[in-house]
Structure 1
């Protein structure tokens, strides 16, 4: 049967069929390229070990260092057993303003325990604190304030103290952010800790804060177990309780201050290896950074500089809390990595909107 002229006219020629096929092939190839591109982009985002860090010199310095010390056969290779990383806590791993969080806990404890201690109404520095006499409390100095906190927990067992810390964290709220204090951990540093551990590092906290205070929550917040927390400690006394159970009781006496020059001593005493990476944020960390840098070989020295008053706080040389002055000067002089919080971190806290940096 012959085709009509109309059928012949609407039937594509062989060259037309080739053109159509070519256009379809182009669209298919284009679609495949786009899918591969999107997939590669997603894979890149998923494999970024530090997604809360902006690309820049600080992030590059970290990843370059880790690559150098973990490259088998490389000039700077460090065996896993020697990959020790130490971090200050207050102001380095979590917020420390407007007062150290352990101090806030201690003062809240004094308020809670005051009804059981009527004698405190006539004893300094309790009297000044309970009556709201800020000038009187300030006149007691740092020693008086520390004595107030130590006395408040004196006679408490270490188990009861841990329960007290956990209870406070569950109820207390930060005065600015209105969130539990243990939510104010720095997301970029949490990622850094995980990244280091994934590359064979052993991570430690070396902090001026109380070791028993930090051990209650550090593992959940940072993935750092209690035995890898080095901090200041008070004297405890072993005794057998009325029920025959062995107890450790806290005494109102300081045993070890893990701050300033105490940090290298604490590292030597409790870790036993010199770190190859150290991170701090204040002059109280300077000696720890110096101690880490003193040995030959690859070393990383980092300082968190608080420059973000919008998302956190901005402070350095003149701050009474977390003063960064001499350590900053040495960092600049020696080429240590100074992390600018406002510029280097996409996100400060996990509860931020990751796309805008605004607080929820």
Structure 2
């Protein structure tokens, strides 16, 4: 363990791995890997791997309303960022072509890098087994400050991991927009809560406490089932 769990392919078991387990996996799989090699591996995976349910590339499973709101904001003079609990280097590989967001505007979970020289004296960077930022929950506003240096005017989330980011956004002066997507459409996508009687699923967590805070603070909760005519861009 934890390698036995990962190799088993049991997604529910993998979801229960601790941060220490994840750091152990990071150390074993990434230590000493040149950043360019990592990027090439990610690109190859994204170009070939398909989602088991939809039989499509993962980069094709983007939400149509998300693409529309990003385009709308940029057209009206806003700069858009991705703030994710996922690996920053991983998301940067595809953020420009999929979301129109350049790599320098991606804030994610970060591991360390180390500067060195190859056998020909050429400088390069390798990945290190050191977690610099877990960009989830309180880590999201911390990452925003570290990487952007400005409080957002608007923030969009879909789970308990986004609570602190929306709180931080809403604490700013002037007009602010905070929105949450509620995944309540099992037919077209997924349904998870446990808020509003939805299943307590491993796909994500949207608790009643988050729902209550949204109502208290005036955050808009978007129903995927009732508010979105289209979910995916390929529909």
TM-score, length-scaled by structure 1: 0.60
2:211 corresponds, among 308, 328, 337, to 328
TM-score, length-scaled by structure 2: 0.90
Whether 1:342 and 2:225 are equivalent positions in the alignment is: yes
1:159 corresponds, among 14, 17, 36, to 36
Q: Displacement, 1:215?
A: 0.3
Residues 172/188 of structure 1: CA separation in 2 closer, same or farther (3 Å cut):
same
Q: Displacement, 1:151?
A: 2.2
Equivalent in the alignment of 1:191: 68
Equivalent in the alignment of 1:296: 173
* Structure 1 alignment gaps of length 5 or more: 1-123, 353-360
> Which structure dedicates a bigger proportion of its chain to helix?
1
Q: What is the alpha-carbon distance in structure 2 between the residues aligned to residue 304 and residue 188 of structure 1?
A: 11
2:80 aligned counterpart, secondary structure: strand
Contact 1:285 1:327 in 2 (8 A): no
* Structure 2 alignment gaps of length 5 or more: 195-199
Alignment of 1:54-69 (within 5 A): none
Whether 1:177 and 2:60 are equivalent positions in the alignment is: no
Contact 2:51 2:58 in 1 (8 A): yes
Alignment of 1:53-92 (within 5 A): none
Q: What is the alpha-carbon distance in structure 1 between the residues aligned to residue 181 and residue 84 of structure 2?
A: 15
Root-mean-square deviation over aligned CA pairs: 2.0
Residues 319/150 of structure 1: CA separation in 2 closer, same or farther (3 Å cut):
farther
Give the length in aligned residue pairs: 229
Equivalent in the alignment of 1:74: none
User: Runs of at least 4 residues of structure 1 off by over 6 A?
Assistant: 132-139
